[in-house]
Structure 1
Amino acid sequence: MTDAELVDEVLHAAAVVGCEVERVADVTALRGRWHGAAAVVLDEGAVVECAAGGFPRRTGVHVVGTGPPGESVWRRALELGAEQVLELPADQERLRAVLADAAEGGPVGEGRVLAVLGARGGAGASVLVVAVGQAVMSAGGHALLVDCDPLGGGLDLTLGAERQEGLRWPTLRLTGGRVPAAALRSALPGRSGGRGGLTVLSCGRTGPGPEPDAVVAVVEAGRRAGGTVVCDVPRQLTGAACVALDRADLAVLVVPADVKACMAAKTVVEQASARGVRLKAVVRGPAPGGLTASQVVEATGVPLLTTMRPERRLARALDNGHFPGTTRGPLARAARKVVAALHEH
């Protein structure tokens, strides 16, 4: 790049997202770095020189300018494989996103987002969230559990990670923008197993819950990193709950097999339907009155994803701060079915 104003814009964007950049002196010096750089940012003059110099196509090429490029520049940019042309300073946010991806090593892939709600209080939504996270971890993936329920007592408590060091929503002080996934993982409590792992961003026992923009930033960071983001969504759809639900590839409603839960589920279904969200049901036993899964589905109007028999000794384990780590049992099987359904969407 030769334009001083454009150089300043790029350096500023890089400083904001923590991306180290190298400015090469000329196109000759660029040739040796053309294939190895995570991203290449060129001004219009450099585009013309690179195309004339026979540079091969590559991904991660971005062109910056102070206005729309001419037709000849566009044609040469396409020859180099340029992904976009950014007009600065108007496109500063897009430039920051490009450089943030480069700093993180580029996006790993498109992750998946799951939202889990309970039909009523105590339905077991938080328990299923953690079980899904453990199923992803056991399969060698990475799960990011996002607590969107400030009145739920803290998802880290369900996981048994309440004593672990790391940030929670009240101390994260995140208002939005772009969050590096690697930095987020290192700042949060969690656990690892084999090749996989999970981290949890929990609400606190006191303090405010997450703001909608902050939830968007965290969810999108997890998605960009190629992981599985699992959101614990409250029944009362707050702003933070809504943005999590809107971004979900799959939304699951945990319905205990009793009449009160079926009646309560209708309100949740109506709220979700108003946002264009289609829910799938996980029907949880026991059924004190003998309700079957098909009767629950008929009463709630929510298609069945799977059923789940009672998990023995679950309540005692949770009270003792130990989430069951087994890959066997009704809870683990239901979690694997949810993960499979999520990847089918």
Structure 2
Amino acid sequence: MTQQTRTPEGRGPVVLAGGSQFVQDQVARACAAAGVAPHFAVDLAQALPLEPAVLLLGADQATGGLPGHRDVIVVGAADDETRAWAAAANVASSRVVILPQGAGWLAEHLGRRLNPAASGAVVGFLGAAGGAGVSTFAFWCARHAAGLGTSTLLVDGHPLGGGLDLALGIEERPGVRWGDLRDLRGTLNAEQLVAALPADGHLAVLSHAGHSEGAGPHPGHGMESAGAVLDAARGAFDLSVVDLGSAGSAAIQSLVPLCDQLVLLVPSRPRSAVAVTRILEAYSSLPTTVVLRGPVLDGLDAWLVADLAGRAGPLPYLPFVRGSSAAEAGGRMLDFPLPRRARKLVESVVAGLERAG
């Protein structure tokens, strides 16, 4: 049978680039079940101008070069599974759907992803440079949201960081860490995720373990399952805060596309201020809140850095918080009180996330 290709006019939420007639038909059925209209394009060159919220790639189209896309899924038939997984590695996609077996998961994912009322927000916190204090800031925002009664998940997004649970002082609490999810394939039930994680009130935490997570080196450290985990988190939590670490971290390449928006923390240092423009360009598809972190050095105040970033000034400003580093090192972050100015900034950022969500 000759492959039929349907090309839409205008942009759409779901676009399939390439794929056989069988794959197109299966995608159409999954989209119908999710209540969304799919668009079909011959190849990536035709698909990308449509600015899809979810980009589906036939295994023949997954050739790399897709920075900044918010949701990329490789789809393939059962007899092409090996090539589909290889293609997903090529585009840093953590999701592969094999059809027809995975059609139900795809329909469920699209329904959650494209119906904001039915899913929680996933927000990535990123530092413009190493040592920006982004882990601490992400925790403060997650703790504040949880304190308002918002069901919140704090996700440790850098596997070589030593384990975020150590900074919180909950490393001995039972519950799932990333390493326990290493072999996860397919879907993860939202209720099971909630029950499995260590929590403090409305705040749950998914951390890397501070000790070895298994025999022998394993570069993924469980984060190969990040797509399935954050899919489940959307159904389980009102807000998921992902600590991405610094912009130079390799781990963020698979996590940023899973986020709905970013918060970029910029230390008041010359190199960090200059890097802001490049970072914003690299992740231009995501709404981004830029926050300047004090203390202010070299005249790089909230107005000047805003000008460098092409933003209206002044930027939101997080002052230096005395004692926060010692609290993190001592595993006392859960109970560490914020001074008034820092607390007001955290409240403002969280309120902005709620409005955007």
Normalised TM-score (structure 2) = 0.61
Separation of aligned partners in 2, 1:245 and 1:83: 24
Contact persistence 1:280–1:302 (CA under 8 A):
no
How far apart are 1:325 and its partner, in Å? 4.4
Paired with 1:292 and 1:94, the residues of 2 have a C-alpha distance of: 51
Q: The residue matched to 1:233 in structure 2 has which SS?
A: strand
Count of residues in correspondence between the two structures? 248
Partner of 1:116: 125
Q: 1:172 to 1:288 in 2, by over 3 A?
A: same
Which residue of the partner structure matches residue 204 of structure 1?
209
Deviation at 1:218, TM superposition (A): 1.3
1:286 lines up with 2:295 in the alignment: yes
Question: Could you list the runs of 5+ residues in structure 1 that have no partner in the other structure?
Answer: 1-67, 69-81, 101-106
Aligned-pair identity (%): 32
Whether contact under 8 Å (1:144, 1:228) holds in the other structure is: yes
Asked whether 1:155 is paired with 2:164, we answer: yes
Aligned residue identity for 1:287: V
Taking the TM superposition and a 5 Å limit, the aligned residue runs for 1:297-316 are 297-301=306-310, 306-316=316-326
Bigger Rg over Cα:
1
The answer to whether 1:322 aligns with 2:324 is no
Find the counterpart in structure 2 of residue 332 from structure 1: 343
Match of 1:13 in 2: none
Matches within 5 A, 1:72-221: 91-95=100-104, 109-192=118-201, 197-205=202-210, 206-207=212-213, 208-210=219-221, 213-221=224-232
Distance in 1, Cα, partners of 2:286 & 2:241: 16
Q: What's 1:230 paired with?
A: 241
Kept after mapping to 2: 8 A contact 1:113/1:231: yes
**What is the CA–CA distance in structure 2 between the aligned matches of 1:216 and 1:90, rounded to whole Å?**
18
TM-aligned CA deviation for residue 278 of structure 1? 4.3
The offset of 1:261, in angstroms, is 2.1
Alpha-carbon spacing, 1:315–1:98, altered in 2? closer, same or farther (3 Å): same
- Residue 255 of structure 1: how far off its partner (Å): 0.7
Alpha-carbon distance between aligned partners in 2 of 1:130 and 1:136, rounded to the nearest angstrom: 10
Q: Is the CA contact (8 Å cut-off) linking 1:251 and 1:277 kept in structure 2?
A: yes
Partner of 2:77: none
Further displaced range: 316-325 or 327-336: 327-336
8 Å CA contact retained: 1:310, 1:330: no
Question: Distance in 1 between the 2:139 and 2:305 partners?
Answer: 24
Going from structure 1 to structure 2, the CA distance change for 1:342 and 1:176 (only over 3 Å counts) comes to: farther
**Offset at 1:114?**
0.6
How far 1:301 moved relative to its partner? 3.6
Task: Give me the whole-angstrom Cα distance separating, in 2, the residues matched to 1:314 and 1:83.
Answer: 46
1:246 is aligned to 2:253 = no
Q: Alpha-carbon deviation of 1:226?
A: 4.2
Summarize deviations over 1:131-169 as a string: whole Å, max 9, x none.
111011100111111122122222222323223222221
Residues 266, 291 of structure 2: 8 Å contact kept? yes
Q: What is the distance in 2 between the residues matched to 1:176 and 1:305?
A: 42
Distance 2:293 2:189 in 1: 37
- Tell me which residue corresponds to 1:29: none
CA distance, structure 1, for counterparts of residue 196 and residue 180 of structure 2: 11
Alpha-carbon spacing, 1:184–1:336, altered in 2? closer, same or farther (3 Å)? same
Which has the larger displacement, 277-286 or 297-306? 297-306
Q: Is the 8 A contact 2:152 2:237 kept in 1?
A: no
Q: 1:158–1:318: 8 Å Cα contact kept in structure 2?
A: yes
| Alpha-carbon distance between aligned partners in 1 of 2:221 and 2:185, rounded to the nearest angstrom | 10
| CA spacing shift, 1:305–1:199, aligned 2, 3 Å | farther
Is contact 2:154-2:204 (8 Å) kept? yes
Cα root mean square deviation, aligned: 3.1
Deviation for aligned residue 1:227: 1.9
Is contact 2:324–2:336 with CA below 8 Å preserved after alignment? no
* CA displacement at 1:224 relative to structure 2: 1.5
Distance in 1, matches of 2:301 and 2:238, equals 35
**C-alpha separation in 2, matches of 1:326 and 1:146:** 21
How high is the TM-score relative to the length of structure 1? 0.63
Task: Provide the residue aligned with 1:63 in structure 2.
Answer: none
Once residues 99 and 318 of structure 2 are traced to their aligned partners in structure 1, the CA distance between those partners, rounded to angstroms, is 52
Query: 1:254 Cα deviation (Å)?
Result: 0.3
SS at match of 1:343: helix
